[in-house]
Structure 1
Amino acid sequence: MHSESFPRITIALDGFAACGKSTLAKDLCAALDYAFIDTGAMYRAITCWALREGVEPDASLPWARWLAGLPLEWQMSDGKFRVVLDGRDIEEEIRSMSVSARVSDIAALSAVRAFLVRQQQILGQHGGVVLDGRDIGTVVFPDAELKIFVTADKEVRIKRRFEELQAKGYSVTEAEVRANLAQRDHIDSTRLDSPLQAAPDVVWMDTSAMSRALQLQIALEEARWRCQKKNGWAAR
């Protein structure tokens, strides 16, 4: 679909964990030749650092000062988003259950959110990006041309995440995954700073029984319409 005649829009994918946001985001980036910004990986990276340093998710601690000096890099290339800490790619480490168990607590800290929201806005300021997260369409890019809120049945989400972790070699039980997702859902939707909620102009997508190909097809149709609309010749 991508050509020079199409503007580089911003696509925001929001939703709870294990709904398929990252998979759809990567597929969209491949189809549109867009850059992928994995905001969840950014929060996981800070959580990984906090676990290494034994830092608790306490808002009274000097998070702003720590974050300003953190040796973190965000790398976007070939449709992939990589997090580098202290010069080392930590992709495998940030996907561990120990990070998953703590990431929502860290992400609820206002200092962390302010720091990463600004980073995300800088990375995506020129458009031609797909971002997935919890507050992309409401806080990070409230004016994004396309906002999709991705949902899925709870049991489907548990099964997906359990199989994903098993495939990566993590030793985890389905009960642990169930408890982790329930905890994260609660924290993400009830935190005071930027809780997970759908923007009023989102496209709803329930991926419970939807094939990966169909998800991409629907998202591309929405993206095409918005690209055309931005150029002033939309027809639907």
Structure 2
Amino acid sequence: MISIAIDGPSGAGKSTIAKAVSKKLGFIYVDTGALYRSIGLYVLNKGKDTANQMDVAALLPEINVQIRYVDGAQHVYLNEKDVSDDIRRPPVSMAASNVSAHPEVREFLLNLQRQFAKENNVVMDGRDIGTVVLPNADIKIFLTASSEERARRRYKELTEKGEKVEFEQIHEEIKQRDYNDSHRAIAPLKQADDAILVDTTECTLEESIDKLETVIRSRMK
């Protein structure tokens, strides 16, 4: 099986771009961030502090997260409920960043992620795929863009859904998440030594997809 690991900061377009590229390649797409978001959502719904390691660890036995494919699209189920839309709300983004810092959560999800790669040709995206989850991935990509551009994209996405948000607040949240993700003690966000850097700051979505596909296909030959 061929595994492609795509890492990068929040809002870099990893999910959208990786999903499109995996379809072009005929690979299974695995959005690992959605798994962490699901746990963050559960902890929020329980009224617990997502930054409190003991609180989060105590809830893990109650959580069943599954990835299912419906008409070719990935859906995330939390205790048998489809939460694919719920996990994309802004508060869940920070909750995901908080719970992902807990070693118990990372261990909880590690085997699930690796099993997908054993059984399928995968494009898997996240923050520690090439460094921790799939250190022997065939191809590793570090996908990024400036914090301003990532905030602009997220602002556009949310306002088009009718949500009332402030650009500056989104930008601050993205910068805070960058800091949290890159400074956590367990599996911090960083570019793997053998990963290819792909910066999409100046690219449209279509250009980003083409750019990533070109890089991957060149390495697959």
| TM-score w.r.t. length of structure 2 | 0.92
Asked if the contact 1:158/1:177 (under 8 Å) is kept, the reply is: yes
Q: Which amino acid aligns with 1:140?
A: V
1:77-116 pair list within 5 angstroms: 77-116=70-109
Structure 2 partner of 1:4: none
Q: Which amino acid aligns with 2:53?
A: A
Q: Which amino acid aligns with 2:90?
A: M
Match of residue 53, structure 2, among 24, 48, 59: 59
User: Does structure 1 residue 71 correspond to structure 2 residue 71?
Assistant: no
Asked if the contact 2:155/2:166 (under 8 Å) is kept, the reply is: yes
Structure 1 partner of 2:215: 222
Over the residues paired in the alignment, what is the CA RMSD in angstroms? Answer: 1.7
Structure 1 runs (4+) greater than 4 angstroms displaced: none
Asked if the contact 2:35/2:65 (under 8 Å) is kept, the reply is: no
Structure 1 partner of 2:195: 202
| Structure 1 unmatched runs, 5+ | 1-7, 229-236
Cα distance between partner residues in 1 of 2:163 and 2:79: 24
Cα distance between partner residues in 2 of 1:226 and 1:76: 27
1:1-236 pair list within 5 angstroms: 8-56=1-49, 57-61=51-55, 63=57, 66-228=59-221
Asked if the contact 2:17/2:208 (under 8 Å) is kept, the reply is: yes
Question: Displacement, 1:79?
Answer: 4.3
Per-residue deviation, residues 37-80 of structure 1 (Å, max 9, x unmatched): 111111000000000111223223471x6324413222135442
SS at match of 2:11: coil
Question: Displacement, 1:209?
Answer: 0.8
Matched residues, number: 220
Asked if the contact 2:43/2:59 (under 8 Å) is kept, the reply is: no
Question: Displacement, 1:150?
Answer: 0.8
Cα distance between partner residues in 2 of 1:82 and 1:99: 17
Question: Displacement, 1:184?
Answer: 0.6
Relative distance call for 1:9 and 1:151 in structure 2 (3 A) is same
Larger mean CA deviation between 77-86 and 98-107 belongs to 77-86
Q: Give identity over the alignment, percent.
A: 36
Question: Displacement, 1:218?
Answer: 3.2
